[in-house]
Amino acid sequence: MNSLNGKTALVVGASRGLGRGIVQAFGTAGASAIAVARDATALRELAASAPSITPEIADATDPATADSLLGRYMPDILALVAGA
């Protein structure tokens, strides 16, 4: 992956599995990675593992969540990995 220094990546569904791996990869590549999920404990553990990861405890099924997060972070990259 090319360097993502100076970029912001917002990953929805970041508390476990593929989403967790994606947010970690963005952080390793130099991006400021915003990890979005409902599981506060998992997000706090994830954020503690890397200073480039910012946890956002939120419910992505709430329409106001998208507006709030996109407006606040203005991400360069958006990864939607949530849902079954």
Residue by residue, pLDDT tens for the chain (84 residues) are: 568 999 999 999 999 999 999 999 999 999 999 999 999 999 999 999 999 999 999 998 898 999 999 999 999 999 999 775
Fold for domain 8-80?
Answer: Rossmann fold (3.40.50)
Whole-model pTM: value is 0.92
Domain boundaries, the chain: 8-80
Q: State the pLDDT at residue 82.
A: 79
Q: State the pLDDT at residue 2.
A: 63
Please return the burial class of 48, using the count of CB atoms within 10 Å of its CB with bins 0-12, 13-18 and 19+. exposed
